[in-house]
């Protein structure tokens, strides 16, 4: 019996069809070993950063089954994915199963030709590729574990940092600060409806966008009382070249723009298309196409569109170390126009097919026309209109979705007098730079050399899942937690989360993969200074949260609330948002005052405060008083303030509504037990006898007993876990 081991069951099923029963094909179902959670057990730093791996939870049976089959096999081949991670998985399988002389086969597309050819030429596991991936894993663990540890001490328990996700978060925060610092100003767009001598109506736009209302009025005055004469007509042929075949990052960007898919969604669909044998390996930063693929494309283009549309092209890879795979993402069979088991797979396949074919076709040609009109013999800024139309579709024949609409302009002659119909003005305001979309952040990470094709989707997913950014209308917006974490890291560990360090480390990992650098030297040269830096920062004063604030002061630089910190010299004020503001503060003569109540509860007479704590803003009735002796003072009543509420607008009436929670709605007609409405860690809910139900559309402050009974009668969603047996 011959054994061939892959990662995915779907991949195993596809490959089995091609080997005619010669091999038993089994799947490891991804990684089978990993570093344990405890860093002390995971990496032996003193003895050369030696990692200690454990069988991943739930993979014990998979390993036992493969080991059993391996014991009976006359030949064992490891056919994991063709990149560093795949090489590392192959090595882990060999180590865990006890394969003495592991042999590796590699293919970049799951077709019968590729698989059969690969099986004929097995090789040893590439130790350089394995060590490069191992170095990445160990490095990520060391940085993440140690940086997260100091964040737990100095900011808040449970927060985390990472070698690549922290730079990604920093990039999002840098853009957010640009937006906060942006000062908008007004400007005017002036347009004019005119007619030519053939009475064809069209619209011109003023070449100047005035910022002064008086200038606008002057342009209107001249325009309404002067002649409009055609000053210039320019026509130019513009060639538009096709884009290179897809690599991982450009596929994610195009799928986001054209199809609305997130990077993680795109990679999941591409993985399925690859495993089904429809496309080549989807983690790559190479734009190369094989000779076989070029031959298929040439044949298809000549047959479908004509020989005159064909033009062979080669594209330079953006990455100086394009190494994840040896070919761009392309269909395995160009003649197959449709593929995929569902609509989304079909859409992504069509996108890949069109981009691949278009990359080997002739330039499209566009005729651009610009008409410039003089107003008032040059006493007013010129007005103009632009038009364009495709005169030769070229590569757009294969990818019509990327073709823009033709904008026709009317026929006019030089010095022709136009008739003014009406002038329009519209006041606008300059906009701050756009926040990053997921696709935009992928593009930025690629440009800065942060991460590699296989990591982009997981980087973004990580900072979203950790609550550091959230998607608002497809834009990535940093949360308050993300702001605090990034600001802390930038203030204290900028050299380890900046672009240069992160990109340089990726280059060093590439050198390990090429055999030009060693695992031990790379980790040693990084960790010794990093550890020294960590120890120095361990003496930092602990940062306080807004809940520790005892002042109403605003930062004079950025306007953020200020907090009190404890230092060697006692209490001092600090900006809650940006550590870099701290040095600009003057504390002389500042008196720290207690929070003042917004009013008093009409029933108890207790003062009500608006405060902020570790879980966000809240209202509090009464003050905290330390108990004397063995007696403990009662805890003041508190209630969360809704996230979308501006704290500066919270009134006494609002506070009393918030403090009405928890609300007893009544008793259940069957059990006789109370039904409660309240706000919790995961949002508003109703509760009866230990049964919690989230309020999705109902208002927690107004929901009544009858509605609560309806919600409780609905079938509860399964949470995917089983109760422990008593």
Which is it for strands 2-6 and 570-575: parallel, antiparallel or unpaired?
unpaired
Which is it for strands 43-44 and 50-51: parallel, antiparallel or unpaired?
antiparallel
Q: pLDDT band at residue 121, thresholds of 50, 70 and 90?
A: very high
In this predicted structure, the answer to whether residue 722 has a pLDDT above a threshold of 70 is no
Cα torsion angle, 152, 137, 42, 536, sign: negative
In this predicted structure, the answer to whether residue 80 has a pLDDT above a threshold of 80 is yes
Residue 437 inside a domain? The answer is no
pLDDT for 632-680, tens place per residue? 567 788 888 876 676 667 888 889 988 988 889 998 888 889 999 988 7
Residue where a domain stops, chosen among 317, 339, 358: 358
Helices (H), 48-126: 60-72, 84-97, 112-119
Distance separating alpha carbons of residues 381 and 375, to the nearest angstrom = 7
Residue 592 inside a domain? The answer is no
CATH number of the domain bearing residue 511? 1.10.460.10
- Helices and strands (H, E) in the chain, number of each type: 19, 26
Q: What is the pLDDT of residue 295?
A: 95
What length does the chain have?
726
Q: pLDDT band at residue 580, thresholds of 50, 70 and 90?
A: very low
Compute the mean pLDDT over every residue in the chain, rounded to the nearest whole number. 86
Q: Which domain holds residue 671?
A: 663-713
Q: pLDDT band at residue 209, thresholds of 50, 70 and 90?
A: very high
CATH number of the domain bearing residue 410? 2.70.20.10
- Residues 6 or more apart whose CB falls under 8 angstroms from that of 538 comprise 150, 153
Residue 30 inside a domain? The answer is yes
Instruction: Give percent of the chain above pLDDT 70.
Output: 86
* Residue 554 and residue 634 in one domain: no
* Residue 252 and residue 311 in one domain: yes
Residue 107 inside a domain? The answer is yes
* Residue 698 and residue 564 in one domain: no
Q: What is the pLDDT of residue 564?
A: 53
Q: Which is more confidently placed, 605 or 542? A: 605
Please tell me which of 150-154, 170-174, 561-565 the model is most confident about, judged by mean pLDDT: 170-174
| Overall average pLDDT of the 351-378 stretch | 96
Q: What is the pLDDT of residue 530?
A: 92
Residue where a domain stops, chosen among 343, 358, 373: 358
Q: What is the pLDDT of residue 562?
A: 60
Cα torsion angle, 609, 612, 618, 623, sign: negative
Q: Which is more confidently placed, 212 or 630? A: 212
Name the β-bridge partners of 192: 204, 423
* Residue 106 and residue 52 in one domain: yes
Q: Which is more confidently placed, 539 or 120? A: 120
Residue 564 inside a domain? The answer is yes
Q: pLDDT band at residue 156, thresholds of 50, 70 and 90?
A: confident
Question: For the chain, how many structural domains are there in total?
Answer: 7
Distance separating alpha carbons of residues 363 and 358, to the nearest angstrom = 9
Q: How far apart are the first and last CA of the chain?
A: 46
Q: Please calculate the CA angle 30-289-454 and round it to the nearest 5 degrees.
A: 30
Q: pLDDT band at residue 269, thresholds of 50, 70 and 90?
A: very high
* Residue 224 and residue 372 in one domain: yes
| Overall average pLDDT of the 366-376 stretch | 95
Find tokens 């993300």 and name the residue: 482
- Residues 6 or more apart whose CB falls under 8 angstroms from that of 595 comprise 550, 552, 609, 610, 611
Catalytic (active-site) positions: 281
* Residue 9 and residue 99 in one domain: yes
In this predicted structure, the answer to whether residue 241 has a pLDDT above a threshold of 80 is yes
* Residue 577 and residue 682 in one domain: no
In this predicted structure, the answer to whether residue 39 has a pLDDT above a threshold of 80 is no
* Residue 224 and residue 195 in one domain: yes
Distances in Å between the alpha carbon of 666 and those of 270, 366, 657, 705, 706? 53, 72, 18, 6, 9
In this predicted structure, the answer to whether residue 718 has a pLDDT above a threshold of 60 is no
Residue 438 inside a domain? The answer is no
Cβ distance 18 to 112 under 8 Å? Answer: yes
Report DSSP letters for 260-305, one per residue.
Answer: ---HHHHHHHHHHHHHTTSBB-S--------HHHHHHHHHHHHHHT
In this predicted structure, the answer to whether residue 585 has a pLDDT above a threshold of 70 is no
User: 486: closest CA among 85, 209, 175, 130?
Assistant: 175
* Residue 413 and residue 514 in one domain: no
pLDDT for 276-312, tens place per residue? 999 999 999 889 999 999 999 999 999 999 999 999 9
Q: What is the pLDDT of residue 44?
A: 92
pLDDT for 384-425, tens place per residue? 999 999 999 999 999 999 888 888 899 999 999 999 999 999
In this predicted structure, the answer to whether residue 681 has a pLDDT above a threshold of 70 is no
| Overall average pLDDT of the 243-267 stretch | 94
Q: What is the pLDDT of residue 654?
A: 87
Cβ distance 597 to 607 under 8 Å? Answer: yes
Cβ distance 608 to 650 under 8 Å? Answer: no
Lowest pLDDT segment from 258-267, 345-354, 418-427, 686-695: 686-695
Look up residue 614 and give its two tokens: 């570790």
Q: Please calculate the CA angle 213-219-224 and round it to the nearest 5 degrees.
A: 125
Q: What is the pLDDT of residue 543?
A: 45
* Residue 478 and residue 576 in one domain: no
Residue where a domain stops, chosen among 306, 329, 358: 358
* Residue 280 and residue 323 in one domain: yes
| Overall average pLDDT of the 452-480 stretch | 90
Residue 620 inside a domain? The answer is yes
Find tokens 């006898």 and name the residue: 689
| Overall average pLDDT of the 28-44 stretch | 86
CATH number of the domain bearing residue 252? 1.10.290.10
pLDDT for 527-566, tens place per residue? 999 999 888 887 665 544 333 333 345 555 455 556 555 4
Q: What is the pLDDT of residue 702?
A: 87
* Residue 30 and residue 79 in one domain: yes
Distances in Å between the alpha carbon of 570 and those of 31, 283, 539, 573, 694? 52, 54, 15, 10, 45
């Amino acid at each position: 019996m011959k054994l061939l081991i892959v990662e995915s069951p779907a991949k195993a099923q596809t490959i089995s069809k091609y080997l005619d029963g010669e091999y038993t094909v089994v799947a490891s179902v991804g990684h089978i070993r990993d570093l344990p959670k405890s860093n002390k057990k995971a990496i032996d730093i003193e003895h050369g950063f030696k990692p200690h791996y454990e069988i991943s939870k739930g993979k014990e049976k998979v390993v036992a089954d493969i080991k059993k089959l391996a014991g009976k096999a006359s030949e064992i081949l490891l056919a994991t994915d063709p990149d560093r991670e795949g090489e590392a998985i192959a090595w882990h399988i060999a180590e865990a199963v006890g394969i003495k002389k592991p042999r590796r086969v590699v293919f970049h597309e799951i077709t019968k030709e590729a698989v059969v050819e690969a099986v004929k030429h097995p090789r040893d596991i590439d130790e350089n590729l394995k060590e490069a991936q191992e170095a990445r894993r160990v490095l990520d663990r060391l940085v993440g574990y140690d940086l997260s540890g100091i964040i737990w001490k100095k900011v808040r328990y449970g927060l985390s940092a990472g070698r690549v996700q922290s730079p990604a978060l920093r990039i999002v925060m840098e853009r957010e600060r640009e937006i906060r610092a942006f000062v908008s100003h007004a400007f005017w767009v002036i347009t004019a409806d005119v007619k030519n001598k053939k009475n064809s109506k069209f619209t011109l736009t003023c070449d100047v966008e005035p910022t002064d209302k008086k200038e606008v009025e002057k342009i209107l005055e001249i325009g309404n009382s002067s002649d409009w004469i055609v000053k210039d007509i320019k026509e130019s042929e513009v060639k538009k070249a096709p884009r290179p075949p897809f690599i991982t990052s450009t596929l994610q960007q195009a799928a986001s723009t054209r199809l609305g898919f997130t990077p993680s969604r795109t990679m999941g669909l591409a993985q399925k298309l690859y495993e089904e044998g429809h496309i080549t390996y989807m983690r790559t930063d190479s734009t190369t196409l094989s000779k076989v693929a070029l031959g298929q494309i040439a044949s298809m283009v000549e047959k479908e569109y004509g020989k005159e549309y064909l033009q062979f092209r080669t594209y330079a890879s953006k990455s100086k170390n394009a190494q994840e795979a040896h070919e761009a993402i392309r269909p395995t069979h160009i003649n197959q126009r449709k593929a995929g088991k569902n609509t989304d797979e079909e859409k992504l396949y069509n996108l890949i097919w069109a981009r691949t074919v278009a990359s080997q076709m002739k330039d499209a040609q566009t005729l651009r026309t610009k008409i410039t009109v003089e107003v008032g013999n040059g006493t007013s800024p010129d007005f103009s209109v632009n038009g364009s139309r495709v005169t030769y579709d070229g590569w757009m024949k294969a990818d019509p979705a990327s073709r823009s609409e033709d904008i026709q302009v009317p026929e006019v002659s030089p010095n022709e007098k136009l008739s003014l119909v009406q002038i329009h003005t519209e006041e606008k305001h300059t906009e701050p730079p756009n926040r990053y979309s997921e696709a935009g952040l992928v593009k930025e990470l690629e440009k800065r050399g942060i991460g590699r094709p296989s990591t982009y989707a997981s980087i973004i997913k990580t900072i979203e899942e950790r609550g550091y950014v959230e998607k608002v209308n497809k834009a990535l917006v940093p949360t308050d937690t993300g702001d605090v974490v990034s600001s802390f890291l930038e203030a204290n560990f900028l050299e380890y989360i900046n672009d240069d360090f992160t990109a340089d480390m990726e280059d060093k990992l590439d050198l390990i993969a090429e055999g030009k650098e060693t695992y031990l030297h790379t980790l040693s040269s990084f960790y010794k200074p990093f550890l020294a830096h960590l120890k120095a920062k361990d003496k930092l004063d602990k940062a306080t949260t807004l809940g520790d604030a005892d002042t109403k002061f605003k930062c004079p630089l950025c306007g953020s609330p200020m907090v009190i910190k404890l230092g060697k010299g006692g209490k001092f004020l600090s900006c809650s948002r940006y550590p870099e503001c701290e040095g600009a503060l003057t504390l002389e003569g500042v008196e720290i005052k207690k929070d003042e109540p917004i009013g008093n509860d009409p029933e108890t007479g207790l003062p009500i405060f608006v405060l902020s704590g570790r879980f966000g803003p809240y209202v509090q009735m009464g003050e905290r008083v330390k108990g004397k002796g063995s007696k403990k003072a009662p805890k003041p009543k508190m209630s969360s303030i809704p996230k979308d509420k501006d704290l500066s607008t919270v009134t006494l009436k609002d506070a009393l509504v918030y403090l009405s929670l928890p609300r007893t709605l009544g008793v259940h007609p069957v059990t006789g037990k109370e039904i409660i409405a309240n706000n919790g860690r995961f949002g508003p809910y109703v509760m009866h006898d230990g049964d919690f139900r989230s309020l999705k559309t109902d208002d927690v402050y107004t929901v009544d007993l009858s509605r609560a009974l309806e919600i409780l009668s609905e079938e509860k969603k399964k949470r995917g876990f089983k109760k422990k047996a008593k």
